[in-house]
């Protein structure tokens, strides 16, 4: 992000001159003068920017998310029951009257307790002024009252099908989040205080940050979420030592150096999702899953997927199986002499692993994989969370047009969808920090990884969207064919360990649990606290969160949870005890990358992981 130029200096004025945002008492004349000064100084910056970038206002009228039909259906059902609508309106006014009465008592010096409080973990209202100031406390509570009422109306309106209700609820929350008082200068006490103290320098810095982000997106806003110059792959993230021992068009195969004198006989292969880059499993030494696995005596291999361009447009889902997992297994056998592996699949990598297991079983090659571990991975997509909203017919047609033009689905397209799922954390918090407070985003390795987006080949992504999210065909025997072989999950007898996370908004745990009922082999299911990333990347030394375990997998996931035992801390040691059962025999001397049979191509983390989506 570009640092402020003419607005680097910071001027201060005493609160007695301009008011005190902490109490809600602002001198309007002093504030108005500051804003006029900011406006005058901002004009050259804006003029320079708009000379370079042109905007078509007609783009604002488009409805790429196909929201209008959903809201038309919602309002039709809402107005079809006037009595219920009247009752809901009456409740709103009653709640408003209660809030007015309570706030008036406080304005007059009386004591009162908040009627409407932010949810636990809602950081938008962390500044003390939201409680200490009667003005800002009223603004906060009125927002919470109205927003919760709006959501209740959506959820209580009868006659909507599940898909329409989910879409209306989701986009109503987006609207509510966007209009939070914390997102605006005049209703955010922290921003007001900064504006008064710096005499508007924060707003000028914020404008320069905004324009820098627009330039970075070539006219489209790409909000900076971290300091991108603070990280270097292979230098301060993704630094576990290893070698690239093989590569093809789709992937590089990395083998990491052993950290123990002896290692388990059977090697371990990790299949990360190609919707993101593998180094989420190797951010820093203290939270690297890869490093921890090596410390436990595993010979660790991982696939690093290419960031595809137009040349790979016709790569299919089955190509990822053949040129990815199956080719990796062949190369690992060359490097280690071992005919099989323990395999871990994370997210989309786990979906591919399940398909590969079914293919191997059908082709009498099931012994290639001794055990399979699934980390937050979906096979049954019937209840695939809010991501499924982006997979309706209109969305698929939009993606098809983009992929037909480019040969791939842009990584930015996917990143935007994921950001909307956690808009307050991944969008609005940075709007406030970067553009209103005028601060630079904090260097954060997880957010650097999150923004390091990857493209999706057109043929593969079209199959994945339609056959998995759209039609949910993987659980149906024979409805999906890979390399001429019908896929039947019921044939999978490989021992399997399933790890899901309780707050996962991408792969809801009830849906991931369904795979335990498909395979005929022994299955064990573990549920970790937290979400899709934090619940998985949870090193034991951190002593965070908890997990639930049970030796049985009944048909009902809630039945499983009711009998599961809660355990403190990370799930990693529990999994490691399980996978030791498939170590393949007595330990062997530590192996070197390539095993003397495969010549290393380059040092880890390799070149594929460094490819940017715009390449």
Q: Give pLDDT tens digits for 423-432.
A: 999 999 999 9
| Residue 268 tokens, joined | 């371990």
* Cβ neighbours, 10 Å, residue 365: 14
Query: 1.10.10.60, 3.40.50.300, 3.40.50.1820, 3.30.497.10: which CATH number matches 242-386+453-610?
Result: 3.40.50.1820
* Size (the chain), residues: 615
Per the listing, tokens 């966007």 go with 178
Q: Taking the domains of the chain in order of start, what are their residue ranges?
A: 15-216, 242-386+453-610
Cα atoms found within 13 Å of the Cα of residue 480, Cβ hemisphere only:
25
Per the listing, tokens 């945002």 go with 21
pTM of the model: 0.90
Q: How many helices (H) and strands (E) does the chain have?
A: 22, 19
Residue 515 to residue 25: CA distance in whole angstroms: 58
Tell me the pairing of strands 242-247 and 251-256: antiparallel
Marked catalytic residue, from 347, 468, 523, 546: 347
pLDDT at 123: 93
Radius of gyration of the chain (CA): 27
* Cβ neighbours, 10 Å, residue 267: 26
Q: 376's torsion region: left (phi>0), alpha (psi -120 to 50) or beta?
A: left
Rounded to the nearest 5°, which phi and psi values hold at 127? -65, 135
Q: How far is CA 203 from CA 25, 41, 189, 192, 602, in A?
A: 20, 10, 14, 10, 46
| pLDDT tens-digit map of 345-390 | 999 999 999 999 999 999 999 999 999 999 999 999 998 877 877 7
Catalytic site includes residue 468? no
Q: How far is CA 79 from CA 28, 75, 87, 434, in A?
A: 43, 6, 12, 41
pLDDT at 6: 38
Ordered DSSP codes for 117-139: -PPTT-GGG-STHHHH-HHHHHH
Q: What's the burial of 352, exposed, middle or buried (CB within 10 Å: 0-12/13-18/19+)? A: buried
Q: Which helix (H) or strand (E) holds 190?
A: helix 189-198
Ordered DSSP codes for 10-52: -----HHHHEETTTTEE-HHHHHHHHHHHHHHHHHHHHHHHHH
| pLDDT tens-digit map of 238-253 | 999 999 999 999 999 9
Per the listing, tokens 């004591």 go with 111
Query: Which residue positions in the chain have pLDDT lower than 70?
Result: 1-25, 48-66, 614-615
| Residue 189 tokens, joined | 């006490």
pLDDT at 32: 77
Residue 177 to residue 428: CA distance in whole angstroms: 8
Residue 508 to residue 500: CA distance in whole angstroms: 8
DSSP state of 514: G
pLDDT at 72: 92
Q: Which helix (H) or strand (E) holds 300?
A: strand 300-305
| Residue 537 tokens, joined | 């990347």
Q: Given 3-state DSSP classes, what are the helix, strand and coil percentages for the chain, each rounded to the nearest 5? A: 50, 10, 35
């Amino acid at each position: 992000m570009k640092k402020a130029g003419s607005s680097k200096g910071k001027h201060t004025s005493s609160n007695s001159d301009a008011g005190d945002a902490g109490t809600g008492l602002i001198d309007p004349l002093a504030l108005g003068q500051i804003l006029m000064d900011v406006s005058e100084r901002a004009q050259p910056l804006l003029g320079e920017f708009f000379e370079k970038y042109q905007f078509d206002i007609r783009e604002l009228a488009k409805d790429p998310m196909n929201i209008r039909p959903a809201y038309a259906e919602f309002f039709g059902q809402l107005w079809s029951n006037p009595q219920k609508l009247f009752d809901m309106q009456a409740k709103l006014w009653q709640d408003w009257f209660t809030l007015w009465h309570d706030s008036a008592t406080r304005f007059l010096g009386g004591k009162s307790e908040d009627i409407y409080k932010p949810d636990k973990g809602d950081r938008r209202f962390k500044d003390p002024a939201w409680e200490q100031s009667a003005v800002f406390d009223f603004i906060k509570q009125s927002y919470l009252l109205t927003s919760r009422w709006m959501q209740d109306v959506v959820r209580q309106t009868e006659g909507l099908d599940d898909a329409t209700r989910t879409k209306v609820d989701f986009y109503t929350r987006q609207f509510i989040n966007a209009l939070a008082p914390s997102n605006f200068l005049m209703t955010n006490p922290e921003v007001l205080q900064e504006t008064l103290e710096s005499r508007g320098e924060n707003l000028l810095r914020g404008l320069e940050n905004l324009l820098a982000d627009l330039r970075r997106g070539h006219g489209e806003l790409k909000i900076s979420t971290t300091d991108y110059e603070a990280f270097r792959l292979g230098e301060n993230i993704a630094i576990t030592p290893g070698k690239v021992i093989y590569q093809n068009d789709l992937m590089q195969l990395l083998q990491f150096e052993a950290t123990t004198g002896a290692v388990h006989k059977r090697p371990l292969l990790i299949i990360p999702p190609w919707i993101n880059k593998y180094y989420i499993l190797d951010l820093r030494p203290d939270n690297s899953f890869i490093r921890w696995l090596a410390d436990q005596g595993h010979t660790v291999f991982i696939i690093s997927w290419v960031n595809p361009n137009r040349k790979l447009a016709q790569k299919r889902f089955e190509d990822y199986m053949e040129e990815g997992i199956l080719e990796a297994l062949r190369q690992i056998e060359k490097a280690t002499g071992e005919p099989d592996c323990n395999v871990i699949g994370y997210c989309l990598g786990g979906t591919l692993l399940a398909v590969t297991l079914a293919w191997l079983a059908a082709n009498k090659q099931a012994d290639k994989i001794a055990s399979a571990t699934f980390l937050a991975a979906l096979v049954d997509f019937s209840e695939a969370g809010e991501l499924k909203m982006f997979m309706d017919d209109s969305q698929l047609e939009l993606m098809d047009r983009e992929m037909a033009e480019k040969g791939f689905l842009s990584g930015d397209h996917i990143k935007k969808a994921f950001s909307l799922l956690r808009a307050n954390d991944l969008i609005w918090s940075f709007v406030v920090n970067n553009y209103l407070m005028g601060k630079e985003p904090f260097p954060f390795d997880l957010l650097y990884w999150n923004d390091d987006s990857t493209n999706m080949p057109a043929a593969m992504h079209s199959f994945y969207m339609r056959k998995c999210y759209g039609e949910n065909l993987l659980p149906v025997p024979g409805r999906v064919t890979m390399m001429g072989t019908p896929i039947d999950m019921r044939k999978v007898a490989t021992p399997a360990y399933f790890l899901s996370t309780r707050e996962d908004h991408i792969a809801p745990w009830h849906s991931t649990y369904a795979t335990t009922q498909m395979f005929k082999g022994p299955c064990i299911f573990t549920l970790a606290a937290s979400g899709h990333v934090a619940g998985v990347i949870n090193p034991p030394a951190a002593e965070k969160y908890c997990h639930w375990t049970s030796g049985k997998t009944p048909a009902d996931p809630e039945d499983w949870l009711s009998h599961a035992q809660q355990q403190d801390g990370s799930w990693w040691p529990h999994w490691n005890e399980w996978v030791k059962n498939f170590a393949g025999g007595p330990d062997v001397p530590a192996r070197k990358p390539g095993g003397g049979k495969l010549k290393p191509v380059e040092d880890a983390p390799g070149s594929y992981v460094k490819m940017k989506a715009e390449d």
